[in-house]
Amino acid sequence: MIDTPADLLEKLSGPVLPGGTIGIFGGGQLGRMMGIAARSMGYKVHVLDPDPACSAGYIADTVIEAGWNDRWAAANLARESSTVTLEIEQVSILSLDEAARWAPMRPGAAMLAIIQDRVEQKDWLNKHGFPTGPYRAVRSQEQLGEAVKELAGPVFVKSARGGYDGRGQAKLGFGGDVVDDAAILQAWQDVGATDCVAERALDLAKEISVMVARAPNGEVRVYPPAENFHENQILSWSVIPASVPDELAARAQNIAGEIADTFALEGLLAVEMFITTDGQLLVNELAPRPHNSYHGSERACTTGQFEQAIRAACDLPLGDVSMVQPTAIANLLGDVWLNDDGTEKQPAFDQALAIPGVRLTLYEKLKPRKGRKMGHLSAVGATADEARERVLAAKARL
């Protein structure tokens, strides 16, 4: 608890040691797993989330029930915390600024303000020489029509703010669909008739992501790239390390490290990237927090992403990120719990866990819904292929 500027100065100087309290904006699965890492290291955990029954509620000391733009609640979270971090990028800048008055806020509001808006994020990347695919900022239905013409080919339309797992997105001109005025109106409405970005749909050979951690003192650690496979724009499975040539992995890691330095990041940043069929390496988007594609880092790397997030937030030395063993994860969406008629069933976890190297992580979400991330399976293997085959075989048994 701090009450005076001198108290804040003390909070800002030096590392936060065990016994301290980590404040987390967001109590979903990422906040939960960060909280578990923090507890394992001897910290207390305060969480702020709109849902008092959130996934992190089971492991937190306190849950403040509040929205992302509740400044008063943000101040309360930070006053009671030694340092504050986040699991979701949509916390309002005013709340982040308010938190920063009472405790170190890592990552900081300046970077979040850019990342929160897809247009600003892409403009920032291009301005700093980081390659993205072709896109247009769109603020009206008319502009969407023009953008589609200019981009010439199928496009993804994505709301500038607030989307995840493919929500707030529409597709135009796929599979030879005609893009007439009616289709454009429909897409504009599907993304919420709001500021958005139109992106040319690229021919992807592979998707990878690179997690980078940067401490307040400037120390940087770049993880080995993860290879990601999406279905219906939602991550389905992911493997560390990605099967890509060493040269390309090094280039991807370089990009991630440079982005972290340019932002003067304090915390984690996942850089999602596309490898196109014509060999380009492009940045898709940035996530300033732990990332679904790095759940495997808990087993693949010497230091997992959640512990690393806590180390960065506490200004502790960052952990080694070298490979321990190839690891794959497969997401478990609510669909796995649902019969065709919508009734619930119990997945056959006993069958899945019989496969060597397989582990189960569930997020204690009570209600399975289609597309809702409920947990994941992980598997280690002698090779990345073996790890992936095991995790997919385990999932198939559910």
Ligand X SMILES: Nc1ncnc2c1ncn2[C@@H]1O[C@H](COP(=O)(O)OP(=O)(O)OP(=O)(O)O)[C@@H](O)[C@H]1O
Query: Residue numbers of the site for Mg ion (CB under 5 A)?
Result: 272
Instruction: Please tell me whether 166 is known to bind a ligand.
Output: yes
87 binds ligand X, rule: CB under 6 A? no
d(CA 319, CA 322): 9
Q: What is the closest distance, in whole angstroms, from the C-beta atom of residue 91 to ligand X in the complex? A: 16
Angle at the Cα of 55 (from 364 to 163), degrees rounded to 5? 115
Q: Which of 43, 124, 130, 156 binds ligand X (CB under 6 A)?
A: 156
Nearer CB in complex with Mg ion: 80/272: 272
Site string for ligand X, 217-246 (x = CB under 6 A): -------------x--xxx-----------
Number of C-beta neighbours around residue 48 at 10 A = 32
Phi, psi of 65 (to 5 degrees): -85, 110
Residues 162-191, mask of contacts with ligand X (x by CB under 6 A)? -xxxx-------------------------
**Between 271 and 309, CB nearer to ligand X:** 271
Question: Is residue 254 part of an annotated ligand binding site?
Answer: no
Angle, helix 181-190 to helix 141-151, in steps of 10 degrees: 110
Residues sharing a CB contact under 8 Å with residue 132, sequence separation 6 or more, in sequence order: 122, 125, 126, 282, 283, 284
Radius of gyration of the chain (CA): 21
Q: Tell me the C-alpha distance between 62 and 71, whole Å.
A: 18
CB of 361 to ligand X, least distance (A): 18
Please, what is the Cα angle at 225 between 219 and 227, to 5 degrees? 155
58 is in an annotated binding site: no
Phi, psi of 252 (to 5 degrees): -65, -40
Shortest Å distance, C-beta 154 to ligand X:
8
Partner in contact with 315, chosen from Mg ion, ligand X, none, beta carbon below 5 to 8 Å by kind: none
Quickly count: other Cβ atoms within 10 Å of residue 392's Cβ: 17
Q: Is 137 near ligand X (CB under 6 A)?
A: no
Q: How far is the CB of 296 from Mg ion (least distance, A)?
A: 17
Question: By three-state DSSP, how is residue 188 classified?
Answer: helix
Q: Which does 156 bind (CB under 5 to 8 A by kind): ligand X, Mg ion, none?
A: ligand X
Q: What string marks each residue from 281 to 310 as x (binds ligand X by CB under 6 A) or -?
A: ---xx-------------------------
Q: Say how far apart CA 219 and CA 266 lie, in whole Å.
A: 10
Q: How far apart are CA 305 and CA 290, in angstroms?
A: 6
The binder of 319, among ligand X, Mg ion, none, by C-beta within 5 to 8 A per type, is none
| Of the candidate residues 49, 207, 227, 298, the single one contacting ligand X (CB under 6 A) | 207
204 contact choice in ligand X, Mg ion, none (CB below 5 to 8 Å, kind-dependent): ligand X
Residue closer to ligand X (CB basis): 121 or 253:
121
Give the residue with the Cβ less far from Mg ion, 199 or 272.
Answer: 272
201 binds ligand X (CB under 6 A): yes
Is the omega angle on the peptide bond into residue 245 within 30 degrees of 0, that is, cis?
no
d(CA 141, CA 174): 19
Q: Which residues bind ligand X (CB under 6 A)?
A: 133, 156, 158, 163-166, 199, 201-202, 204, 207, 230, 233-235, 272, 284-285
Q: Which residues are annotated as a binding site for ATP?
A: 118, 158, 163-169, 199-202, 207, 230, 284-285
